[in-house]
Amino acid sequence: MIKQPSRQWTPADLDYYHAQRKLKRRMIDIADDFGVTEWALRHFLRRKSGGVYTEKPQAEDLFTPEDCSLVTGIAPDRIRMLIKDKTIRGNGVVERKDLANFLCKYPASCVRGDIIQIIYLLGGDKCSPNLK
């Protein structure tokens, strides 16, 4: 296996990254702009922030067990158990992407869920019922 030379990151790259994130671009698309993998971009961001990746999810992308229950039809106590068992990734709250991963991995668990909420969750803002 031939090791590829590492990319030389500049402060302008960091500025470009933050500008693109403000425009709501996905991490994978920004990594493609740089010609690197998403992992390499995340590694760069961790190094620039002193070893801690500081980008926090937005409040609308966080779901409490009660919110997860409304979407999936699973009882909140069972959601907490699934989080504890690491079936659903989370720490008291669940990120949108982790809940979407659970829905895709275990669709039979969510047969009593709200289909509109599931579509919105999986489709993101493009499927928002508030868009005209």
Q: Is the dihedral of CA 80, 86, 88, 93 positive or negative?
A: positive
Residue 20, pLDDT > 60, answer yes
One-letter amino acid identity for 58?
Q
Structure tokens at 21: 């994130």
Residues 6+ apart with CB under 8 A from 131: 125
Which DSSP symbol is given to 87? Answer: S
Q: Higher-confidence residue: 94 or 127?
A: 94
Which tens digits make up the pLDDT trace of 29-39? 998 998 888 88
Q: How confident is the model at residue 81 (pLDDT cuts 50, 70, 90)?
A: very high
Q: Is pTM, for the whole model, over 0.85?
A: no
* SS3 at position 95: strand
